[in-house]
Amino acid sequence: MPGNSIKEKIAAGARIVDVRTPAEFKDGAYRGAINIPLPLLPLRMKELEPKSTPIVLYCASGARSGQGTRFLKNNGFTDVINAGGLDDMPE
């Protein structure tokens, strides 16, 4: 079940990245998440290194976090999961 692996990754210290806009982030975000809006991901991906760091991405619906997951994997990040939307994140 995907929710369990996301929960386990977070419990193990994965970086949680919210790829929504700053306004969406301000309206409510997952605790411990950092906000790197999808359009800024190419400019800020160095903040997520080393590339072996577990990373959990989410957005509003899973579409932007899916794009971000593909982008990071295409740029050498090895442990990236699309968690879907904020409502899909574990309690």
CATH of the domain at 19: 3.40.250.10
Could you list the beta-strand ranges (E) of 1-91.
15-18, 34-35, 55-59, 80-85
Beta-strand relationship, 34-35 and 55-59: unpaired
Domain count, the chain: 1
Cis peptide before 37 (omega within 30 of 0): no
Q: For residue 1, what pLDDT is reported?
A: 39
Secondary structure of residue 58 in the 3-state scheme:
strand
Where in the sequence numbering do the catalytic residues fall? 59
Query: Going residue by residue through the chain (91 aa), what tens digit of pLDDT does each one get?
Result: 356 689 999 999 999 999 999 999 999 999 999 999 999 999 999 999 999 999 999 999 999 999 999 999 999 999 999 999 999 999 8
- Domain range enclosing 66: 2-88
Enter the pTM of the model: 0.94
73/79 Cα distance (integer angstroms): 8
> Would you state the structure tokens that stand for residue 83, as one six-digit string?
């968690």
